[in-house]
């Protein structure tokens, strides 16, 4: 049996007035996603357990069959796994965003989607001032992709510390969202000092002249310690591969023992090469038991409150990824032992608020042995999924159903 998962990150939404009271999924032309929903199983799944925030770290673990209460180490440790960082027992690791804060307001969680080269130079300047002596300071900074970086702290105790993802507080005062609890004052000081380092940097002066958002501060969040996650093959007896532009997803793949596949032209935004991602996914199906294709573009469009781009990204995923993948799977047919395709976002993201939210998300599964409702054919939308006949309360149970047609008791 061959399995493919397509994750249109953040694609689920709530109705938008400018779209005639419809969601982007309802407006988008997506015949292939609709075909999967109409010829298979359509329903909803809750990927955000009680007590957790609706983030891709928690929700993707759930989607892939891992209970966050057992296996979630924090967002930053998952991304550290993507970078191949070896964390010692005394190490804490934090996400270190480059952000735009103006007059105490979080204006942009990504500093205008700052480029890799600029981000690396700015983070190096932060390192020179905040962690100048690598052998003696407990701080180490690691550049990632664009605004997404990491900071490790050796020693100390941040147990119970509360931090807030910057994308959860768009255009809100940061005062009520600074780190709180054990170690919070230290992190707040680092955030404040970073502004003194960055405000006069040539890169920021140039960005200001060009009317672009400056990287005015670092923002520390998503803390945790080294992850300990069993491999997917040890749990489900199947090997796998991941195609993504996001370090977090690459980190999860590394921990699961999956291969991270190269895909030239892939990005986290709507400028990604959808055609290439669809091609690489199709080429990989015969090499692995399960292939996961993650597309970040709908989520980033939501964070930018750009519903037009969100609709376009959903349509591009349908045309250039779901369509070719569905054709490839059908061409393999029963000769490969059968096939199944799962389409679902890890979480929902609202264009109106620019935030993730924790409502159940729509999923659609089609393929060998997947029963369908012959009298009711519904498209792949949030409302149709709510009318479906399968609603899974623990998101990590969905993988058992996808792979074997039943859920663990």
Segments making up each domain of the chain, as ranges: 2-71+229-404, 83-224
- Give the angle subtended at the CA of 194 by the CAs of 188 and 197, to the nearest 5°: 155
pLDDT at 89: 83
Q: What is the pLDDT of residue 407?
A: 65
Query: Rounded CA gap, 94 and 79, in Å?
Result: 9
Q: Band of the pLDDT at 145, cuts 50, 70, 90?
A: confident
Residues, the chain: 409
Look-up: residue for tokens 């990005």? 267
Answer whether residue 238 shows pLDDT above 80.
yes
Please give the Cα distance from 105 to 101 (Å, whole number).
5
> What number of CA atoms fall less than 13 Å from residue 184's CA on the CB side?
13
DSSP helix/strand/coil, 288: coil
Other C-beta atoms within 10 Å of 207: how many?
Answer: 20
> E strands within 69-183?
91-102, 105-108, 139-145, 148-154
Note the pLDDT of residue 134: 67
Question: HSE on the CB side for 96, CA within 13 Å?
Answer: 27
> Residue 144: CA atoms inside 13 Å, Cβ hemisphere, count?
29
Is 60 exceeded by the pLDDT of residue 409?
no
pLDDT at 94: 96
Q: What is the structure's pLDDT at 266?
A: 95
Interacting residues of 152 by C-beta distance below 8 A, sequence separation 6+:
80, 85, 87, 91, 92, 93, 94, 139, 140, 142
The 3-state secondary structure of 227-258 reads CCCCCHHHHHCCCEEEECCCHHHHHHHHHHCC
Q: Strand 240-243 vs strand 148-154: parallel, antiparallel, or unpaired?
A: unpaired
Q: Span 108-119, mean pLDDT?
A: 94
Which pLDDT score is estimated for 137? 81
Helix (H, G, I), strand (E, B) or coil at 20: coil
Helix, strand, or coil (residue 85): coil
Question: Over the stretch 303-346, which tens digit does the pLDDT of each residue have?
Answer: 999 999 999 999 999 999 999 999 999 998 777 789 999 999 99
Q: Which of left, alpha, beta for 337 (phi over 0: left; psi -120 to 50: alpha)? A: left
For 211-227, write each residue's pLDDT tens digit. 999 999 999 999 999 88
End-to-end CA separation in angstroms for the chain? 23
What confidence score (pLDDT) does residue 333 get?
A: 79
Phi, psi of 162 (to 5 degrees): -110, 125
pLDDT tens digits, one per residue of 56-101: 999 999 999 999 999 998 889 988 988 888 888 889 999 999 999 9
Q: What is the pLDDT of residues 253-279, one digit of tens each?
A: 999 999 999 999 999 999 999 999 999
Q: What percent of the chain has pLDDT over 90?
A: 84
In this predicted structure, what is the pLDDT of residue 374?
61
Q: Which residues of 208-235 are buried (b: 16+ CB within 10 A; e: fewer)?
A: eeeebbbbbbbbbbbbbbbbebeebeee
CATH placement of domain 2-71+229-404? 3.40.720.10
Q: What are residue 279's phi and psi, to 5 degrees? A: -65, -45
State how far the Cα of 236 lies from the Cα of 65, in Å rounded to an integer: 9
The alpha carbon dihedral of 36, 37, 40, 44 has a sign of positive
Containing 37, the helix (H) or strand (E) segment is: helix 31-38
pLDDT computed for residue 373 by the predictor: 66
Q: Are 7 and 61 in contact (CB under 8 A)?
A: no
What mean pLDDT is reported for the chain? 94
Structure tokens at 356: 């993730």
Check pLDDT > 60 for residue 164.
yes
| Angle between helix 184-198 and 116-130 (nearest 10) | 120
Q: What is the rounded CA–CA span in Å between residue 72 and residue 260?
A: 20
DSSP 351: T
- pLDDT, tens digit (0-9, with 9 covering 90-100), for 359-400: 999 999 999 999 876 666 899 999 999 999 899 999 999 999
Residue 139's DSSP bridge partners are 153
Summary count for the chain: helices (H), strands (E): 16, 15
């Amino acid at each position: 049996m061959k399995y493919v998962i397509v994750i249109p990150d953040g694609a689920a939404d709530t109705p938008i007035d400018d779209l005639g009271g419809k969601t982007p999924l309802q407006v988008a032309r997506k015949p292939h996603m609709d075909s999967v929903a109409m010829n298979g199983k359509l329903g909803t799944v809750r990927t955000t357990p009680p007590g957790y925030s609706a983030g891709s770290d928690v929700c993707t673990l759930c989607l892939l069959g891992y209970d966050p209460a057992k296996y979630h180490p924090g967002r930053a440790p998952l991304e550290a796994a993507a970078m191949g960082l070896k964390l010692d027992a005394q190490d804490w690791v934090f996400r270190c965003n480059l952000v735009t804060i103006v007059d105490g307001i979080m204006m942009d969680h990504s500093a205008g989607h700052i480029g890799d080269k600029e981000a690396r130079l700015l983070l190096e300047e932060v390192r020179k001032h905040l962690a100048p002596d690598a052998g003696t300071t407990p701080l180490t900074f690691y550049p990632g992709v664009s605004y997404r970086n990491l900071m490790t702290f050796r020693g100390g105790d941040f147990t119970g510390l509360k931090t807030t993802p910057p994308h959860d507080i768009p255009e809100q005062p940061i005062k009520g969202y600074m780190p709180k609890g054990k170690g919070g004052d230290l992190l707040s000081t680092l955030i404040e000092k970073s502004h003194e380092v960055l405000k006069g940097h040539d890169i920021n002066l140039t960005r200001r002249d060009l009317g672009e958002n400056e990287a005015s501060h670092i923002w520390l969040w998503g803390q945790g310690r080294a992850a300990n996650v069993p491999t997917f093959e040890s749990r489900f007896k199947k090997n796998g591969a991941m195609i993504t532009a996001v370090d977090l997803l690459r980190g999860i793949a590394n921990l699961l023992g999956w291969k991270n596949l190269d895909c030239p032209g892939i990005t986290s935004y709507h400028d990604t090469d959808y055609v290439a991602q669809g091609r690489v996914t199709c080429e990989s199906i015969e090499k692995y038991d399960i292939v996961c294709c993650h597309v970040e573009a709908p989520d980033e469009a939501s964070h930018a409150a750009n519903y037009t781009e969100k609709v376009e990204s959903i349509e591009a995923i349908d045309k250039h990824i779901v369509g070719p993948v569905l054709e490839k799977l059908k061409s393999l047919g029963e000769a490969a032992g059968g096939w199944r395709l799962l389409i679902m976002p890890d979480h929902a993201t609202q264009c109106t608020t620019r935030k993730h939210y924790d409502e159940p998300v729509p999923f659609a599964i089609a393929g060998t042995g997947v029963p369908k409702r012959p009298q009711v054919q519904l498209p792949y939308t949030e409302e149709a999924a709510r009318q479906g006949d399968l609603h899974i309360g623990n998101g990590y149970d969905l993988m058992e159903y996808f792979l074997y047609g039943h859920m663990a008791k």
